[in-house]
C-alpha cells in the first residue's frame, strides 16, 4: 500500500510545496471549483476552518490510512461532483466543478493528479475494507476461538463429569455384579441342593417303587407254579404282565428323570459287540415269530470283537428300537445292522441301524416322536399301547454317547432308525474281559429290562440244599426270598438287619449270604465290611460260619438300587456278587449254580 501512496504522491516530489501547487493549480484550472470540507457526521466544516487543499489531502491520507472510506462520482444537476468520504465521515473532500472532463482533458498533469487521487482513495478504501474485513475476521476468529475454547472447556468439564459418572457407574456396576454373583452363587447352591435332593429322591423312589414290584412279580411268578384253575392262572398271568409293564414304565420314568437331572452317567467297560447284538436278537426271537416277522442281524465282520462302551445303555437303545419295530410291523422284516464307518488306532466309529417294513411314520410326525409322551398319532396307544417315552430316552442316551439319532421313514413302507457313535477300542490285554465279566455273573443291571409279555426261559431248579442266610427287613420280601430260594433248592434263614445277621453267623453255618443293602440298625454294606474284618481277625472263631472256612464267605448284595454306582459300592464293601430287585428267578438260579460249582 505504501508503494501506491508513494506512487500517487510521486507527482509531488517536494511534499507540501507541491501540494500547495496542487491547490493553486486547482484554483487556477478550476476557478469555479469550491472546496468544502465536511467533518464528522457529514457536517460542513466552515470555510474559516477549511484548510489548505494540501492539508486536506494530507488529512485524507491520514484518515484513509486508518478509517473507513469510499469514493463516489456522480452527477448532480449539470455539475460533476466528486466526493471522497473518508474515515467514518470525518472528512469529505468534495470537488465541485463544471466541465471537469474538459479541464482534465486539457491538463494532463491535473488529470493524472486527479486520477491518482481517486485511485489512492479507492485503494485506501479497499485497503481499509481489507483491514476492516481483517478486523472482522480477527474478531470472528476471536469469537470462534473463544467459543472454541469455551467448547473445549465445556467438553473438558463434560469429560470430567462423564469420567466421574463412569467411575460411579463402574462402582455401581461392580457392586451390582458382586451382589448378582452372590445371588447367583446362592441360587446355584440351592439349585445344587435341589438337584441333590432330586437325585436322592430318585434313588429313594427307585427303591420304594421296586420293592413292592419285587413282591408282585415274584409272588405272581410263584403263584403260577402252584395248582391253579384256568381262570386263576389267567388272572395271575395278567397280574404278572401288568406288573412287568409297570416296571418298564417305572424304569423309563426314572431313566428320563435321571437324564433330565443330568444324573445319568455312562459306565464304559469292555464288551463283545457281536454278543450284544446277538442277545438282543435272541431276546425278541419268539416275539417276532408270534407276529410272523423275520428278525435279522448283521454285524460288520471287520469290526473289532471287543470295544469299550456302556453295554447296558447300548442294549437299552437297541431293545427300544427293535421293540418298536416289532410293535409296528407284522409279517415283515426287521434288521439290526452294525457297520464300521471309520476306524483309527484308538477308536472305531459305528453306525447302528434298526430297519423294519412296518407301518412307517408320516413325515409331519417324524420330529415329534422323539419328544417325550409323544406318539405318531392319537390312535397308537389304543392300538399298540406304549407311553411315548421310549424314543425320548433312546435319543437322549444316543446324545449322551455323542451321537444323534436319525429316522428315515415312509408311511406303510417302514422305518429305519440309525445313529453313529464312536467307541474306544479295547486294546488292553485279554484278561480285562474276564475282569469285567466276573462280577457281572448273575447280576441284573440297570439296563436289563424285560418288555411286557416277553417269554421267560424255564430253568430246571438246582437240586441239593445249600444253606443261605437272607438278610432283608421287608416282611413281604422275606417271604418271597424264602420261597424263591426254596424253589432253587436252598434252605433259607432270615435276618431282619445286619446286626441280626452277624448274630446268626455266630451260631449257624451258611453257604452264602443274600444281603439286602438298605436296612435299619446296620445296613448291608456295614454288615459285609464287618464280616470281612472278622474273617481277617482271630475273632472269626466266635462265628460258626466263619470259623475254619477254606475261602471267604460268599456275600451277594441284593438291592432295589439298580445303578452301576450302587453295584460298585457293594463290591467296595466286600461283596462277591450283586442282584437287583425284583429278583429274577433265572438270575438267582444262575447265581446259585455258580456258587455251587465253585464249592463255596
Ligand atoms: P411308545 O412307547 O409309544 O412306543 P416311543 O417313544 O418308543 O413310545 O415311540 C413313539 C411313537 O413313535 C410310537 O408311539 C409310534 O407312533 C412311533 N414309532 C416309533 N417307532 C416306530 C416304528 N418302528 N414304526 C412306526 N412307528 C414308530
Q: Which atom of ligand 1 is nearest to the CA of 359?
A: 25
pLDDT in tens, 431-451: 443 333 333 333 333 333 333
Name 278's Cβ contacts closer than 8 Å, sequence gap at least 6. 297
Nearest CA to ligand 1 atom 17: 376
Is the model's pLDDT at 166 over the cut of 70?
Answer: yes
> Facing residues of 309 across strands?
269
pLDDT in tens, 259-276: 877 778 888 888 999 999
Nearest CA to ligand 1 atom 9: 388
| pLDDT score for 477 | 85
Question: Residue 341: left (phi > 0), alpha (psi -120 to 50), or beta?
Answer: alpha
Q: Which atom of ligand 1 is nearest to the CA of 377?
A: 16
Is the model's pLDDT at 297 over the cut of 80?
Answer: yes
Residue among 496, 493, 525 nearest 509 (CA): 493
Q: Which atom of ligand 1 is nearest to the CA of 372?
A: 6
Is the model's pLDDT at 32 over the cut of 80?
Answer: no
Nearest CA to ligand 1 atom 16: 376
| pLDDT score for 90 | 32
pLDDT in tens, 214-234: 788 888 888 888 899 999 999
| CA of residue 232 to ligand 1 center, whole Å | 33
Rounded to whole angstroms, what are the CA distances from 422 to 26, 320, 367, 372, 405? 121, 20, 24, 26, 13
Query: CB under 8 Å, gap of 24 or more: what pairs does 424-432 form?
Result: 424/268, 424/307, 424/308, 424/309, 424/346, 424/347, 425/304, 425/307, 425/308, 425/343, 425/345, 425/346, 425/347, 425/348, 426/270, 426/304, 426/306, 426/307, 426/308, 427/346, 428/270, 432/270
Name 570's Cβ contacts closer than 8 Å, sequence gap at least 6. 517, 524, 525, 528, 557, 559, 578
pLDDT band at 314 (very low <50, low <70, confident <90, very high): very high
Nearest-angstrom CA–CA distance, 315 and 277: 8
Is the model's pLDDT at 5 over the cut of 60?
Answer: no
Nearest-angstrom CA–CA distance, 346 and 348: 7
Nearest-angstrom CA–CA distance, 154 and 132: 31
> Quick one: how far is CA 146 from the chain centroid?
56
| CA of residue 375 to ligand 1 center, whole Å | 6
Nearest-angstrom CA–CA distance, 527 and 538: 18
Pocket of ligand 1 from Cβ distances under 6 Å: 324-325, 328, 356, 358-361, 369, 375-376, 380, 386-392, 415
Q: Which atom of ligand 1 is nearest to the CA of 329?
A: 24
| CA of residue 376 to ligand 1 center, whole Å | 7
Give the H or E element holding residue 343. Answer: strand 333-343
Q: Which atom of ligand 1 is nearest to the CA of 370?
A: 6
Determine the average pLDDT of the residues in 70-97: 36
Residue among 245, 375, 418, 449 whose CB has most ligand 1 atoms within 8 A, to mutate: 375
Residue scoring higher pLDDT (525 or 12)? 525
Nearest CA to ligand 1 atom 7: 390
Nearest-angstrom CA–CA distance, 119 and 11: 14
Nearest CA to ligand 1 atom 21: 324
| CA of residue 329 to ligand 1 center, whole Å | 11
| pLDDT score for 260 | 75
Our separate counts of H helices and E strands in the chain read: 16, 17
**Sheet strands (E) in 145-280:** 269-272
| pLDDT score for 461 | 41
Is the model's pLDDT at 600 over the cut of 60?
Answer: no
Name 376's Cβ contacts closer than 8 Å, sequence gap at least 6. 361, 362, 365, 369
Rounded to whole angstroms, what are the CA distances from 492 to 180, 484, 580? 61, 10, 19
| CA of residue 315 to ligand 1 center, whole Å | 18
Is the model's pLDDT at 157 over the cut of 50?
Answer: yes
All cell numbers assigned to 261: 437331572
Residue scoring higher pLDDT (385 or 293)? 293
All cell numbers assigned to 39: 467533518
| CA of residue 377 to ligand 1 center, whole Å | 9
| CA of residue 289 to ligand 1 center, whole Å | 20
Name 509's Cβ contacts closer than 8 Å, sequence gap at least 6. 467, 544, 545
| pLDDT score for 10 | 45
All cell numbers assigned to 251: 424304569
Rounded to whole angstroms, what are the CA distances from 510 to 24, 41, 247, 499? 162, 141, 33, 16
Nearest-angstrom CA–CA distance, 192 and 188: 6
DSSP string, 139-157: HHHHHHHHHHHHHHHHHHH
Q: How many residues does the chain have?
A: 600
Nearest-angstrom CA–CA distance, 561 and 251: 11
Determine the average pLDDT of the residues in 565-581: 87
Determine the average pLDDT of the residues in 477-483: 88
| pLDDT score for 341 | 94
| CA of residue 247 to ligand 1 center, whole Å | 19
| CA of residue 374 to ligand 1 center, whole Å | 8
Q: Which atom of ligand 1 is nearest to the CA of 354?
A: 23
Q: Which atom of ligand 1 is nearest to the CA of 358?
A: 24
Nearest CA to ligand 1 atom 19: 324
> Facing residues of 82 across strands?
73, 95
For Cα atoms 99, 103, 108, give the angle at the middle one, nearest 5 degrees.
Answer: 150
Residue among 259, 354, 365, 386 whose CB has most ligand 1 atoms within 8 A, to mutate: 386
| CA of residue 44 to ligand 1 center, whole Å | 119
| pLDDT score for 321 | 96
| pLDDT score for 118 | 55
| CA of residue 402 to ligand 1 center, whole Å | 23
| CA of residue 252 to ligand 1 center, whole Å | 14
| pLDDT score for 135 | 80
Nearest-angstrom CA–CA distance, 297 and 283: 12
Amino acid at each position: 500500500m505504501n508503494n501506491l501512496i508513494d506512487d500517487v504522491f510521486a507527482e509531488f516530489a517536494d511534499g507540501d510545496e507541491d501540494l500547495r501547487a496542487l491547490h493553486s493549480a486547482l484554483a487556477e484550472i478550476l476557478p469555479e471549483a469550491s472546496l468544502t470540507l465536511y467533518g464528522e457526521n457529514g457536517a460542513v466544516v466552515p470555510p474559516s476552518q477549511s484548510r489548505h487543499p494540501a492539508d486536506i489531502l494530507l488529512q485524507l491520507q491520514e484518515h484513509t490510512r486508518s478509517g473507513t472510506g469510499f469514493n463516489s462520482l456522480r452527477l448532480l444537476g449539470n455539475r460533476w461532483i466528486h466526493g471522497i468520504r473518508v474515515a467514518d465521515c470525518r472528512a469529505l473532500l468534495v470537488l465541485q466543478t463544471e466541465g471537469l472532463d474538459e479541464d482534465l482533458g486539457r491538463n494532463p498533469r491535473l488529470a493524472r493528479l486527479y486520477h491518482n487521487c481517486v485511485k489512492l482513495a479507492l485503494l485506501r478504501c479497499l485497503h481499509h475494507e481489507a483491514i476492516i474485513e481483517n478486523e472482522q475476521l480477527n474478531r470472528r476468529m476471536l469469537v470462534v476461538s473463544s467459543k472454541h475454547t469455551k467448547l473445549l472447556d465445556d467438553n473438558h468439564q463434560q469429560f470430567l463429569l462423564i469420567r466421574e459418572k463412569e467411575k460411579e457407574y463402574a462402582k455401581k456396576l461392580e457392586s451390582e455384579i458382586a451382589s448378582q454373583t452372590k445371588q447367583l452363587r446362592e441360587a446355584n447352591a440351592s439349585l445344587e441342593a435341589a438337584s441333590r435332593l432330586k437325585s436322592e429322591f430318585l434313588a429313594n423312589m427307585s427303591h420304594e417303587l421296586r420293592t413292592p414290584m419285587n413282591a408282585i412279580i415274584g409272588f405272581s411268578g410263584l403263584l403260577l407254579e402252584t395248582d391253579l384253575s384256568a381262570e386263576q392262572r389267567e388272572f395271575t398271568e395278567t397280574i404278572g404282565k401288568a406288573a412287568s409293564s409297570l416296571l418298564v414304565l417305572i424304569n423309563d420314568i426314572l431313566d428320563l428323570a435321571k437324564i433330565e437331572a443330568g444324573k445319568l452317567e455312562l459306565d464304559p467297560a469292555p464288551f463283545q459287540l457281536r454278543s450284544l447284538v446277538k442277545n438282543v436278537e435272541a431276546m425278541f426271537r419268539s416275539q417276532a415269530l408270534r407276529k410272523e416277522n423275520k428278525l435279522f442281524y448283521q454285524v460288520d465282520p471287520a469290526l473289532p470283537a471287543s470295544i469299550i462302551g456302556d453295554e447296558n445303555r447300548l442294549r437299552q437303545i437297541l431293545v427300544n428300537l427293535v421293540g418298536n419295530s416289532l410293535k409296528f410291523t407284522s409279517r415283515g422284516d426287521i434288521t439290526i445292522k452294525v457297520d464300521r464307518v471309520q476306524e483309527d488306532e484308538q477308536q472305531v466309529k459305528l453306525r447302528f441301524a434298526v430297519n423294519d417294513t412296518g407301518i412307517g411314520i408320516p413325515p409331519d410326525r417324524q420330529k415329534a416322536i422323539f419328544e417325550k409322551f409323544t406318539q405318531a398319532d392319537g390312535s397308537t396307544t389304543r392300538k399298540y399301547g406304549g407311553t411315548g417315552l421310549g424314543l425320548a430316552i433312546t435319543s437322549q442316551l444316543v446324545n449322551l454317547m455323542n451321537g444323534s439319532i436319525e429316522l428315515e421313514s415312509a408311511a406303510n413302507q417302514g422305518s429305519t432308525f440309525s445313529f453313529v457313535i464312536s467307541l474306544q477300542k479295547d486294546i488292553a490285554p485279554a484278561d480285562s474281559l474276564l475282569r469285567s465279566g466276573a462280577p457281572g455273573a448273575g447280576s441284573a443291571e440297570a439296563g436289563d429290562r424285560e418288555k411286557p409279555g416277553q417269554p421267560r426261559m424255564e430253568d430246571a431248579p438246582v437240586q441239593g440244599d445249600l444253606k443261605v442266610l437272607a438278610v432283608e427287613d421287608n416282611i413281604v420280601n422275606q417271604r418271597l426270598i424264602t420261597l424263591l430260594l426254596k424253589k432253587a433248592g436252598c434252605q433259607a434263614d432270615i435276618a431282619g438287619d445286619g446286626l441280626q445277621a452277624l448274630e446268626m453267623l455266630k451260631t449257624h453255618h451258611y453257604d452264602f449270604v443274600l444281603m439286602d443293602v438298605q436296612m435299619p440298625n446296620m445296613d448291608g454294606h456295614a454288615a459285609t465290611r464287618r464280616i470281612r474284618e472278622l474273617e481277617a481277625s482271630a475273632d472269626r472263631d466266635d462265628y460258626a460260619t466263619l470259623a475254619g472256612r477254606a475261602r471267604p464267605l460268599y456275600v451277594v448284595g441284593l438291592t432295589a438300587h439298580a445303578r452301576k454306582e450302587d453295584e460298585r459300592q457293594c463290591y467296595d464293601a466286600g461283596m462277591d456278587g450283586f442282584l437287583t430287585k425284583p429278583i429274577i428267578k433265572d438270575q438267582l438260579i444262575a447265581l446259585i449254580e455258580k456258587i455251587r460249582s465253585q464249592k463255596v
